[in-house]
Amino acid sequence: MAQKKISIRIDGELVGATEGMTILEAAEGAGKEIPTLCHMDGLTAVGACRLCVVEVAGIGRLLPACTTPAQDGMSVTTVSAQLTRYRRMVIELLLVERNHVCSVCVSNGHCELQSLAKSLGVSSVRYPYNYPRLPVDLSHTRFVLDHNRCVLCTRCVRVCAEVEGAHVWEVTNRGIKCRITSEMNQPWGSASSCTNCGKCVQSCPTGALIEKGFAVEEMTKRHENISALALAKGARP
């Protein structure tokens, strides 16, 4: 099916896109980088982390680039003082929500939250830290779920449902009490629907889902492979 070509302006630059693309896709197609965290190519966009908010001319509020369709003639601003301030605040809020102790984290150096903090220039946090006491689920033979590092991006939930089709993960509770949970709140090790495929671990942007047997800084993830798989499968509805 031939798709209609459209053109939009991103930060003043005219960019070609296809109808049905999101602003994020259009921007990426043009080599422009918009920071994202919950987004992962191939999975349904949920617009949850709000890092990718952009300004669209003529619209009074900010819109997430990952879920907003690009429309012909649209003029989008992806970088501004306000956007940077807000994006920094998102990172600050995530850093205080849980216990992100980078120096002892197996994902240190390979963590998306960490690198976003760096690229957005977050050098400290203005809010009081929560320091919640959170469990670590070691019940799975190969993997670990460490709630201390979770940012609730729900990539694991989506990849498991949309690509693997196993529906092991869900989000339980609400608000600040939200937690990722496996199979009706069973320890991951006893989740009979889990196929041990590890897609969730590979999708996780931080050290929340990790493989056993790695020391600090050793855990690297391969999201690209998962994305490629997801795109090939056409998981995204």
Rounded CA separation 66/28 (Å): 11
Among the listed residues 2, 103, 141, 215, the single contact to another protein using CB under 8 A: 103
Q: Treating both helix axes as pointing N-terminal to C-terminal, what angle do 112-119 and 81-97 enclose, rounded to 10 degrees?
A: 140
Render the burial of 96-122: b for 16+ CB within 10 Å, e for the rest.
Answer: bbbbbebeebbbbebbbbbebbeebeb
131 touches another protein (CB under 8 A):
yes
> According to CB under 8 A, which residues from 7 to 46 bind another protein?
45-46
173 touches another protein (CB under 8 A):
yes
Rounded CA separation 218/93 (Å): 26
79 touches another protein (CB under 8 A):
no
184 touches another protein (CB under 8 A):
no
Dihedral pair phi/psi, residue 22, rounded to 5°: -85, 170
Among the listed residues 6, 8, 94, 180, the single contact to another protein using CB under 8 A: 94
Please state whether beta strands 143-146 and 53-56 pair in parallel, antiparallel, or not at all (unpaired).
unpaired
Among the listed residues 7, 13, 19, 127, the single contact to another protein using CB under 8 A: 127
Number of residues that bind another protein (CB under 8 A): 60
Rounded CA separation 102/84 (Å): 23
Rounded CA separation 111/91 (Å): 13
Rounded CA separation 18/161 (Å): 27
126 touches another protein (CB under 8 A):
yes
77 touches another protein (CB under 8 A):
no
Site stretch for another protein (CB under 8 A), options 81-89, 156-164, 187-195, 225-233:
81-89
Instruction: Considering the complex, state which of residue 58 and residue 141 has its C-beta at the smaller distance from another protein.
Output: 58
Among the listed residues 17, 35, 68, 162, the single contact to another protein using CB under 8 A: 68
Among the listed residues 79, 138, 178, 231, the single contact to another protein using CB under 8 A: 178
